Amino acid sequence: MDLSLAIFVQIIAAVLLIIALMVGNAVVMVYMERKVAGFIQRRPGPYEVGPWGTLQAVCDSMKLLAKQLYRPGNVDLILYYLAPITAFFPVLLLFLAIPFGPWLTPLPVNDGIVLILAFAGLGVLSNLLAGWASNNKYSLLGAARAVSQTVAYEIPMILALLAVVLQSGSMDLKRITDQQGQWPWEWNIVLQPLAFFIYLVSLVGETNRAPFDLPEAESELTAGFHTEYSGMGFALFFLSEYANMLLVSFVAAVFFLGGYKGPFADGFWWLFLKAYAVMFFMVWIRWTFPRVRFDQLLNINWKWLLPLGLINLWLTAIIVKIAL
């Protein structure tokens, strides 16, 4: 691989843009989350700071920046400070493989989805480190839950994505996008509705969001694995959580919803529109369903999603074999 200056500059620029995207996304998502929560509960949500409360999230992040970093006694120093960083950086890397537009892939890789799935697994490592290092029973419980949940939900997620990979014969996100058409009925969601459904459920489990937010269940574990983090430590977890949501939404958009392709004009706007539609869906279910119990959570996964994913994969394999 010739690492010429051009590629180097391209990667640096992409990383900077992605950091901006992650921060901007967190601000937008906090605002959207609170507004949607408000409207679903028939109250206005934030509305005092700025027009329609739009500056509320900015104020909150300023507050987080200014907060003292408080560290409880008896923590494992190295791991305690390492955990937020390990939460943040893998996500950064993952965005590199997403094809944002016909000519807009930060780092074109052949096996983009392998990269994404491999590094997505690192996210749970940060949860584990944070929970272990905090020297707090709630953190530890949250971390234990995070690990078993993420490990469990990764499997149906991969199975669902594999079905699409089998069907399109490529692991390259760009090629998968290119095989889908501009109009909604030409997207993979029509051919793989079951895989999309499985992916949608396991995406909520994978990002630790309600109703599967057991690792940070407020009513049971105060805040789960990030209980003992304040200020920027917490902010980094927060950022990477929203970035993770954005990432799985991007993957959903690329794999099932035609990626950057859309009616009239292809471009990154379609990708963002689709990803934010998926995010809106996640916010919507968060404010609709109560949190599941842990055994229910694992039952949904092992008893339903996994067999369904396997059946779907087999069927896809057979059909692809016959059709070719």
Partner 1 sequence: MLQAIWDNIKGLYSLLVGMSITGRYLLSPVETIHYPRQVVADEIMASFRGPIQLTKGKKDPAQTRCISCQMCVKACPGHCLSVTKGDTKAPAQWLYDFSYCCLCGACVETCPTGALEFSHKVYLVTLTREELILDLLADLQKRAAILPESQPVPTANLAPPTVPDVESIGEPK
Which spans of this chain sit near partner 1 (rule: CB under 8 A)? 36, 38-44, 47, 284-285, 287-289, 304
Residue with Cβ nearer partner 1 (44 or 181): 44
How many C-alpha atoms does 293 have within 13 Å on its Cβ side? Answer: 3
CB of 233 to partner 1, least distance (A): 33
Q: Are 135 and 77 in contact (CB under 8 A)?
A: no
Residue with Cβ nearer partner 1 (134 or 301): 301
CB of 192 to partner 1, least distance (A): 18
Residue with Cβ nearer partner 1 (81 or 197): 197
CB of 280 to partner 1, least distance (A): 10
C-alpha to C-alpha distance for 153 and 6, rounded to whole angstroms:
39
Name the residue among 65, 63, 142, 154 with its Cα closest to residue 117: 154
CB of 241 to partner 1, least distance (A): 22
Residue with Cβ nearer partner 1 (89 or 280): 280
Residue with Cβ nearer partner 1 (201 or 271): 201
Q: Are 312 and 163 in contact (CB under 8 A)?
A: yes
CB of 43 to partner 1, least distance (A): 4
Residues with Cβ within 8 Å of 308's Cβ and at least 6 positions away in sequence, in order, are: 156, 194, 198
CB of 306 to partner 1, least distance (A): 14
Residue with Cβ nearer partner 1 (100 or 212): 212
| Beta bridge partners of residue 101, listed in sequence order | 104
Q: What is the amino acid identity at position 53?
A: G
Q: Which residues of 145-171 are buried (b: 16+ CB within 10 A; e: fewer)?
A: bbbbbbebbbbbbbbbbbbbbbbbebb
Q: Exposed, middle or buried: residue 318 (CB in 10 Å: 0-12, 13-18, 19+)?
A: exposed
C-alpha to C-alpha distance for 33 and 134, rounded to whole angstroms:
28
CB of 34 to partner 1, least distance (A): 13
CB of 153 to partner 1, least distance (A): 18
Q: How far is CA 83 from CA 7, 127, 179, 229, 236, in A?
A: 30, 7, 39, 10, 9
C-alpha to C-alpha distance for 194 and 218, rounded to whole angstroms:
32
Residue with Cβ nearer partner 1 (45 or 258): 45
Q: How far is CA 195 from CA 160, 205, 290, in A?
A: 5, 15, 24
Residue with Cβ nearer partner 1 (24 or 307): 307
CB of 289 to partner 1, least distance (A): 6
Name the residue among 221, 162, 222 with its Cα closest to residue 195: 162
Question: Cβ–Cβ contacts within 10 Å for residue 183, how many?
Answer: 11
Residue with Cβ nearer partner 1 (10 or 299): 299
